[in-house]
Structure 1
Amino acid sequence: MSMNNLPLVSIITVNYNNPHHTVELLESIKKLSYPNIEVIVVDNASVQNPFHIFKEIYPGTIFIRNDRNLGFAGGNNVGIRYAKGDYLFLVNNDTELTKNIIEGLLDVFTCFPDAGIVCPKFRYYYHKDIIEYAGYTKVNVFTGRNKMIGCGEVDKGQHDEIRETYYAHGGGMMISRDVINKIGYLPEIYFLYYEEFDWCEKLREAGYKIYYQYRSLIFHKESMTTGKNSVLKTYYINRNRLLFMRRNNRFPIFLFFMLYFVLFTIPKNTFHFLLKKQFAHLSAFWKAIYWNVFNPVF
């Protein structure tokens, strides 16, 4: 099949003060077997402009530099608006793609007409035989939490089946242009974390499904931009957990969640941060709560 008969895939990634990891992602993109791609790097107002670094590694890179940090959702949306692809593959810059990843993801769209988003299998970059993601469970309406399927397991093929999953992994998800035209862009109110969950809720409401493709593999360095134990992460994880539940659950279900959050989550987290003397994290946690008290749901 000639390249003209292959759908164009736009690979979009967002860089924020991590040019080294973006370079390594671009190096892996150069090794892809799928020929019909465009590569878009959106820079979220990094301290130094990395344009020349990326162009040297991947000369065909389409580089867009924002004048301020728009977060994960906003940065990706800039790339989505510019992209020309029939399919858009949004990937974290702290990932490494494997050679045949694109073909496997596209196969799911061909075989399952109701596919809206398709995600690859994730393994950890620094522990390449350990699974990070083989799908997601549904967010529990009482606790506001869910789990990654397969997380922490040695990959012995136990999750090697194409299947529907409840949520996409924001670190690597392919979506069709037609679906974006129907459901809109990533919700920018989240800035970081939970935006892909909200997107998936809207996608399902529109009649589409999210699939996991085990034959496509991606390696993830995990939380390289925000840090695994950063105050920023504490703030946005807690702020957006509340925001997600507010946006996607009606009374009385939301009331049950709030009872759990007030009676269990708040005392538990407050005590934990006090015990560990992590006062910056404690402040971030309470700021996340206050934000939800004083900001309406959009």
Structure 2
Amino acid sequence: MMNNPYVSIIIVNWNGLRYLEKCFNSVKNQNYQNYEIVFVDNASTDGSVDFIKENYPDTVIINNNKNLGFAEANNIGVQKSKGEYLFLLNNDAWVEKNTIQELLSTYSKIDNLGVVGCKVKNPDGTIQDLGIKIDRLGYPIGINKESTDDFVADVFFVSGCAFFMKKELFSRFNGFDERYFMFAEDVDLCWRVRLQGYKIVTNTNAEIYHYGGGSIVGGTIKNKKYVTNANRIYLRERNTLSTMVKNLELRNLIFRISISIIFNIAECIFFIFILRPKVSLAYVKSWWWNLRNIKGTLMRRKNIQMHRKITDRDLNEFIHNRIVKLDLIKTIGIPEVTTK
């Protein structure tokens, strides 16, 4: 690694004006200063771009003419960036002053490194995650048990809210799947990276704080109740299904997809029973999207399977046998689904 490599910090924004000052000030306060900020705005209407122009004039600003979503907007930012390393940072996050220096140092300590994540904290300082594993159906399970180690090596993927990677490697893997819009793009990219034998770790000395839900309502726990919405369910289910089709070996794919659809059908029936048919429709729409886009998914699958260097079995240590959805029901009950 170069002694002082150039880092491109990519911040995607859609009507996130209320978060930007805290996010940008924390970046400006870094003890590592060889970086650029690439601000990718998805047609915000809240004055976000004007605020950045006025207060952070050295920022590279990309104006999209419509909301392209998290995945495509990040890819655009990467294409316009000049850094050797990329730090994809959510607009509703802020970083400790040594974060970038710590992330860079990881590459001198771990060989064959693909992606590095941060210790992600909630605004109140509690642990949000130290990296993430998945269950057998592809749903995320955050590692939130405090670690005394500098690195957490048993991580399947790291959250897209703070995603550090060499630009050359990101580009070689064609970045995020732009069809996803948002959700599971980080799982998918890390899965593809892992299948080619790269390591994914969290550097627990690199800390960020993350609000969560800055771009879409839901995904949060309020008053010990999990809150989500129908659009979030639709994007999560369709993208998770596509990710499994692309990345699993055939012998595992058929079984896991079957189990996933059985769970989906049960959820549909439940929401119809409690008179929430619009929520049930989100699952149906996710299946229909995957059917309509199956050709593109299978083309991507062919390329991924052709270049994989490890088997599904090699990844078992990163995968929980538990089913996340059942765990959530046991611990915090049936989710509250909003209409916002």
For normalisation by structure 1, the TM-score amounts to 0.89
Note the C-alpha offset of 1:49: 5.1
CA distance in 2, matches of 1:80, 1:105: 18
Query: Quick one: which of 85, 105, 108 aligns to 2:106?
Result: 108
Distance change (3 Å), C-alpha of 1:215 and 1:276: farther
Note the C-alpha offset of 1:276: 4.5
Note the C-alpha offset of 1:97: 0.9
Note the C-alpha offset of 1:189: 1.7
- Aligned pair 1:137/2:133, yes or no? yes
Please list, as runs of the form range in 1=range in 2, the aligned pairs for 1:70-109 lying within 5 A after superposition: 70-109=68-107
Note the C-alpha offset of 1:52: 1.9
SS at match of 2:158: coil
Note the C-alpha offset of 1:223: 1.2
Q: Work out the number of aligned pairs and report it.
A: 285
Please list, as runs of the form range in 1=range in 2, the aligned pairs for 1:205-220 lying within 5 A after superposition: 205-220=195-210
**Relative to total residues, which structure has the larger helix share, 1 or 2?**
2
- Aligned pair 1:178/2:168, yes or no? yes
Note the C-alpha offset of 1:243: 0.8
SS at match of 1:65: strand
SS at match of 1:132: strand
Note the C-alpha offset of 1:190: 1.3
Residue matched to 2:185: 195
Whether the 8 Å CA contact 2:8–2:38 is kept in 1: the answer is: yes
Distance change (3 Å), C-alpha of 1:84 and 1:256: same
Query: Quick one: which of 142, 147, 152 aligns to 2:141?
Result: 147
Q: Deviations over 1:238-283 (max 9, x none)?
A: 111111111112323121113212333321x113423554333222
Note the C-alpha offset of 1:117: 0.9
Q: Deviations over 1:50-97 (max 9, x none)?
A: 322012232211110011221111000111001111111001111011
CA distance in 2, matches of 1:294, 1:180: 27
Note the C-alpha offset of 1:48: 4.7
Distance change (3 Å), C-alpha of 1:272 and 1:25: farther
Residue matched to 2:311: none
Amino acid corresponding to residue 131 of structure 1 in structure 2? I
Residue matched to 2:156: 166
Amino acid corresponding to residue 193 of structure 1 in structure 2? F
Distance change (3 Å), C-alpha of 1:72 and 1:31: same
Residue matched to 1:124: 122
Whether the 8 Å CA contact 1:134–1:159 is kept in 2: the answer is: no
Whether the 8 Å CA contact 1:116–1:208 is kept in 2: the answer is: yes
Whether the 8 Å CA contact 1:27–1:57 is kept in 2: the answer is: no
**Which consecutive aligned stretches of 4+ in structure 1 deviate over 6 angstroms post-superposition?**
none
Residue matched to 2:237: 238
CA distance in 2, matches of 1:237, 1:159: 32
SS at match of 2:102: helix
For normalisation by structure 2, the TM-score amounts to 0.79
Query: Quick one: which of 280, 283, 297 aligns to 2:278?
Result: 280
Residue matched to 1:57: 55
CA distance in 2, matches of 1:265, 1:287: 12
Whether the 8 Å CA contact 1:183–1:206 is kept in 2: the answer is: no
Instruction: Give 5+ residue unaligned stretches, structure 1.
Output: none
CA distance in 2, matches of 1:179, 1:233: 29
Q: Which moved more, 1:175-184 or 1:55-64?
A: 175-184
Instruction: Give 5+ residue unaligned stretches, structure 2.
Output: 219-227, 301-340
CA distance in 1, matches of 2:148, 2:72: 32
